[in-house]
Structure 1
Amino acid sequence: MQPKKPDLRFKEFSDAWDKKRLSALLFEHKERNYQREFDRNDVLSVSRNNGIVNQIEHLGRSYAGASVLNYHIVRKNDIVYTKSPLALNPYGIIKANKNKEGIVSTLYAVYRCKKNVNSDFIDFYFSLDDHLNKYLRPLVQKGAKNDMKINNQRVLIDPIYIPKTEREQEKISSFLTSVDNKIEQLINKETLLQQYKKGVMQKIFNQEIRFKKDDGSEFEKWKYKNGDKIFKPITNKNHNSDLPVLAISQEFGAVPREMINYKISVTKKSISTYKVVEEGDFIISLRSFQGGIEYSNYKGICSPAYIILRPFIDVNRSFYKFYFKTDRYIRLLNRHIEGIRDGKMISYRQFSDIKLPYPSPAEQSKIADFLSSIDSRIEKVQNKLKQTKEFKKGLLQRMFV
């Protein structure tokens, strides 16, 4: 049998990796919470993206029963297998506890590393979907209700490849942990920028912050106009069905469906009824009462169920792109459509009933440019975060066997 070695390796190591059953690396431990060491505030959740975390901090509440005496205790560096299927991990996930000690339901299996086995190495090994799913697939039987049928000892019967020395395990883990720390820093940076943007938008649209003209003088007082005095509905179906079909979502705005892998079959006959959306148009969607009105950076077509809005007076469209996403506007929208049910479209009349701020076009541009500059900073951080995550994924694929 050909010796197994990873493609990417620290230069001081050259030995082939050992193939060992997981039972040679881990053992199940059954420490329970009978002594009331932990309470319902210490229940842990196992998350694909966040690892093992406090359930209340992660989900906002505890889902534990009245008594947690029978729960498994999870110590630092313990390994936990959760038998809950996820979209990308249909046989559950395996994570190491890198955070606070706590307790988990008896539905979880808890393991501890044997001597010379690094828990972070095990965590990183199974953080690659290909490793995790290939390992668990032959072991897990699915029940009629998609529940997992596997006992805790069976989880340990198959082999994985592991370095001969704990030192190499630790070096791999330490390096990947430094990448994780960089990812966490970027996530925190993005969060802070988003919070800053939200706060400054609130102050701008409440007029706590005002911009000045280029000569230093004050802009005139803001006017307020009903929606139909600024925007008109557009129903243009003059197309040959050759434009991209746009998906309308709170997360992405109006974008071609292919960009977000949004797949839904439509007939040629139905597409012929679709409306043309021009770049810079606004769209009222089924979820506008929750997340505001969407903006399109693309020319395309969308379902006739949507209401397309286009300004007919002098405005900076980006100004309204930001305003329509403020908590303030969404509250106003909901106040004017009180009683609307989920799934019912907001009408143009309801949109028109709301008065919109109308600063001078010059001040609109100042505001839009300022907020766009924050968006540019956020986008740079998001791109760096995406690159770092891809870098980590490449490392996981090449640093393990």
Structure 2
Amino acid sequence: MIPSLRFEGFSGQWKSTTIGAVSKSIDYGLNVAATYFDGENKYVRITDIDEESHLYIEQNKVSPEGSMTDEYLVKEGDVLLARTGASTGKSYMYRSEDGKMYFAGFLIRLRILETVDHRFIYYQTLRSHYNRWVKVMSMRSGQPGINASEYSGFEFNIPTIDEQKKISSFFALLDQKIEKQQEKFKQLVLLKKGLLQKIFSQVIRFKDENGQDFPDWERVALNDLGSFVRNYSYSRSIEGEGEYQHIHYGDIHSKLMGIITSETELPSLSIDTEATYTLLEDGDIVFADASEDTSDLGKSVVLLEVDNRKIIGGLHTHCFRPDSQIDSLFLHYFTQTTEYRKFINVNANGVSVFGLSKPALSSLEIPLPDINEQRKISSFLYKLSQKIELLKKRKTELEVMKKGFISQMFV
């Protein structure tokens, strides 16, 4: 009943309590449909709470339909919990800057007593102890869920009010740092997106070393800028120990950040080492040729300085080796433009799973500047991408730090 990490000046054991014991009331939300946002009254539903940050999502705001009563208003100190579906247990702590807000029926509101620090109660919902409890409690024959009575019985340990405030203030400061890092990340991503469009539509042009204009751009089909090399349709089932590694289309969708280097982790394969395989080289581009939606179809990664690693193209990929006419990074960044995404949408085939054929990809027309301008563009966008990755890494480090403190500072 004593945490392993504690602020100086506090001693003694924590006491056991429940959600019901620290709440004035535990209430169900408003059972009405959502309608267009009226400019004032927000309607928070399970989907309006971010899965990662647990903050209210400002995009696509809605209002509750029909008449509204103060009974369903969310106030400072309230904590909302999802009571049904795959997101059961997801929590949100109301903040005054989120504005006038009503809560929907699939959420439960905890109105915390003034004698308890509401932020401390909210941080309890970020613990592994709480997640395990939710997993067990929500197991039902049909739709998973936890009702108000069950939430009321959730047990946890609590110190004095002064120690509660000290702990919650510490985590509030840590959350602010994470939010600021996330905001910087989002702003830089938006900047890159805007610059990509302006560069590839030639609104922004680069100059040569003498300050002179580069030649006009051409349009050249991908098939005339290199050739495709072999890929191998190995499934996840043979991943294991081995000297060969593969780039699987699923990893292009979810794990890989666009650029493969000597430090990038790739899954190894337990395959015949006596066989001969076509290895990928620096500068090769690997496209995902299958996806459940068109937003990830055709997504690419590029190999840079992989230091003689034995890497092969994997399942559902097209592997392209550019010739000297085109810079690999330039081609990779072109695949992040609106023009490329429109091409994918037109050429996608399939219904539940979409595919991109090699002949279709070969016909892709690339807006092609002089090779020296390509390299200037690539260098500029690469540096910007590195800054974005650094911000993302710092945010991840803060989140890992927060998890570590949560595990040590609560009982």
Q: Secondary structure of the equivalent of 2:45?
A: strand
Out of 369, 376, 385, which is 2:386 matched to? 376
Q: Percentage identity across aligned positions?
A: 23
1:283 aligns with 286
What is the rounded CA distance, in whole Å, between the counterparts of 2:276 and 2:44 in structure 1? 51
Distance 1:356 1:275 in 2: 26
Residue pair 2:29, 2:103 contacting (<8 A) in 1 also: no
AA aligned to 1:131 is H
Whether the aligned pair in 1 keeps the contact of 2:216 and 2:369 (CA below 8 Å) is: yes
Q: 1:276 to 1:20 in 2, by over 3 A?
A: same
- Secondary structure of the equivalent of 2:120? helix
Deviations 1:147-194 (A, max 9, x none): 32x542332234311112x22211211111111111111111011111
| 1:354 aligned residue | 364
* 8 Å CA contact retained: 1:211, 1:363: yes
Partner of 2:336: 325
Aligned match of 1:184 in 179, 183, 188? 179
- AA of the residue aligned to 1:192: Q
Letter in 1 for 2:388: I
Which structure 2 residues correspond to residues 147-158 of structure 1 after superposition, within 5 A? 147-148=144-145, 150-158=146-154
Distance in 1 between the 2:267 and 2:74 partners? 40
Please tell me whether the aligned partners of residues 349 and 355 of structure 2 are also in contact (alpha carbons under 8 angstroms).
Answer: no
In structure 2, list runs of 5 or more residues that go unmatched. Answer: 235-241
Q: Which amino acid aligns with 1:371?
A: L
1:50-65 to 2 correspondence within 5 Å? 50-51=53-54, 53=56, 57=58, 60=60, 62=62
Conserved 8 A contact 1:6-1:398: yes
Distance of aligned partners of 1:277 and 1:93 in 2 relative to their CA distance in 1, 3 Å threshold:
same
1:245/1:70 Cα in 2 relative to 1: closer, same or farther (>3 Å)?
farther
Q: Does 1:214 align with 2:209?
A: yes
Tell me the amino acid that sits aligned with residue 152 of structure 1: A
Cα distance in 1, alignment partners of residues 183 and 173 from structure 2: 15
In the alignment, the residues of structure 1 paired with residue 65 and residue 158 of structure 2 have an alpha-carbon distance, to the nearest angstrom, of 39
What's the counterpart of residue 322 of structure 2?
A: 311
Q: Is the 8 A contact 1:222 1:357 kept in 2?
A: yes
Q: 2:111 is matched with which residue?
A: 112
Q: Matches of residues 59-98 of structure 1 in structure 2 within 5 Å?
A: 60=60, 62=62, 72-86=72-86, 92-98=89-95
Q: Does 1:195 align with 2:190?
A: yes
Cα distance in 2 for partners of 1:126, 1:340 equals: 42
Separation in 1, partners of 2:26, 2:351 = 50
Cα offset, 1:236, TM superposition? 6.6
Question: Deviation of residue 394 (structure 1)?
Answer: 1.3
Equivalent position to 1:23, from 20, 23, 27: 20
- 2:158 match: 162
Deviations 1:77-97 (A, max 9, x none): 1122222354xx7x5234432
Aligned-residue offset at 1:203: 1.1
Give 1:114 shift: 1.8
Q: Which deviates more from structure 2 when the two are superposed, residues 61-70 or residues 351-360? A: 61-70
For structure 1, the 5+ residue unaligned runs are: none
Q: 2:223 aligns with which of 225, 228, 237?
A: 228
CA offsets, 1:120-144, max 9 Å, x none? 110112112x121244456x25322
Is the CA contact (8 Å cut-off) linking 1:33 and 1:73 kept in structure 2?
Answer: no
- d(CA) in 2 for partners of 1:305, 1:79: 45
Match of 2:374 in 1: 364
Contact conserved, 1:45 with 1:53, CA < 8 A, in 2?
A: no
Contact 1:273–1:304 (CA under 8 A) maintained in structure 2: no
Whether contact under 8 Å (2:248, 2:317) holds in the other structure is: no
- Residue 293 of structure 1, CA deviation: 4.1
Contact 1:136 1:155 in 2 (8 A): no
SS in 1 for 2:386: helix
Out of 285, 298, 301, the position equivalent to 1:295 is 301
For the aligned residues, what is the CA RMSD? 3.7
Residue 245 of structure 2 is aligned to residue 244 of structure 1:
yes
What is the CA–CA distance in structure 2 between the aligned matches of 1:50 and 1:243, rounded to whole Å?
38
Task: Note closer, same or farther for the CA distance 1:203–1:352 as it changes in structure 2 (3 Å cut).
Answer: same
TM-score, reference length from structure 2: 0.79
